[in-house]
Structure 1
Amino acid sequence: MTTIDRHLGDKQVIEAYLDAVGSLRVADVAPLFHEDGRVLLPYAPLGIPQEVAGRPAIGDYYEALPQMIGALNFSDYRIQATETPGEYVAEYTSDASMRATGTSYRNTYITKVTVAEGQIAELTEFFDPIRLVEAMGGTVVPPETPEIEEEVHD
């Protein structure tokens, strides 16, 4: 387990999280969170929790990740502070493959991160869930829409 440097800046904590998850050093993830930290995944498809609360549950969630996917190889980090102290928006990309299907998984993420006292208090990750479903072997097909008849106006 990694020893956390309590003197890391907020952006360094976020980068440490991205580096750990992106390289699947999952044992390094939970210590970056507050004991009561939360991970929110509002666009997670069925089978993936939309909320994980508490450091032990966060640790369990990330420990299971390598069974599903290869290294995410997060890159192109852009981390910007918001007007709220301790709150940041991080943008980044992934380039991985799913273990079960061998299918490539690439996505773009926008994540809101709240850091307090050198640890992540809350992390809300937004991503395109269709890319994940397709990489897992599923399909997303929109329903057929009826043709819209053009109205002729005199």
Structure 2
Amino acid sequence: MSAPTSPAELYRHSLRLLLDKDIPAWVALWAEDGLMEFPFAPDGWPQRLDGKEAIAAYMRPYPDHIDLHDFPDLRIHQTSEPETIVVEMRGVGRMVETDSPFDMTYIAVVTVRDGRFTSYRDYWNPLAVQQSGTDFTGSNR
């Protein structure tokens, strides 16, 4: 497969990798100095991951906690900056430990340079997970 050329194509490709549970390939889409931020993260949860290695450490156990099945309602919005997109989507699947349903709405602001993610601000709703009593971040919390 040829490398994705636009931010929207790269993002769609990254979702396919998450569904395939290919976290190493997902991490490979990041620039070495990439920044992932969670502006709504509650106390005790990471708010900022600096660099590809920190992002890899955070994401490595993800498939052990959440079994993603689909990303319905995906909408990717172009911005006035060609390298930046705004993404609206849902992630659905199941929580591995409890076998309960997982259904989360996300909004993300994503910047891509030279075919790699450089910035990803993930505006997920931590209240949805806290209300379910589930900790899907393992030791990363």
Instruction: Give the shorter-chain TM-score range.
Output: 0.7 to 0.9
- Secondary structure of 1:42's counterpart equals coil
Residue of structure 1 in register with 2:121 after alignment: 124
What TM-score, normalized by structure 2, do the two folds share?
A: 0.83
Measured on the aligned residues, the alpha-carbon RMSD in Å equals: 2.1
What TM-score, normalized by structure 1, do the two folds share?
A: 0.77
Residue of structure 1 in register with 2:30 after alignment: 33
- Secondary structure of 2:85's counterpart equals strand
The structure with the larger Rg is 1
Maintained 8 Å contact 1:108/1:127 = yes
How far is 1:95 from its partner?
A: 1.0
Residue of structure 1 in register with 2:75 after alignment: 78
User: 1:26–1:119: structure 2 CA closer, same or farther, 3 Å change rule?
Assistant: same
Whole-angstrom distance in 1 between the partners of 2:41 and 2:69:
16
Structure 2: 5+ residue stretches without partners: 136-141
Maintained 8 Å contact 1:88/1:114 = yes
In the alignment, residue 96 of structure 2 is paired with which amino acid?
A: R
Structure 1: 5+ residue stretches without partners: 139-154
Residue of structure 2 in register with 1:11 after alignment: 8
Maintained 8 Å contact 1:40/1:52 = yes
- Secondary structure of 2:130's counterpart equals helix
**Which of 110, 130, 135 is equivalent to 1:133?**
130
How far is 1:4 from its partner?
A: 7.4
The correspondence of residues 1-154 of structure 1 with structure 2, limited to 5 A, is 5=3, 8-71=5-68, 73-137=70-134
Whole-angstrom distance in 2 between the partners of 1:80 and 1:35:
25
User: 1:22–1:76: structure 2 CA closer, same or farther, 3 Å change rule?
Assistant: farther
Whole-angstrom distance in 1 between the partners of 2:79 and 2:131:
33
Maintained 8 Å contact 1:69/1:97 = yes
How far is 1:38 from its partner?
A: 1.0
Q: Using CA pairs below 8 Å that are at least 6 residues apart, which structure has the higher relative contact order?
A: 2
Q: How many residues align?
A: 135
How far is 1:15 from its partner?
A: 0.9
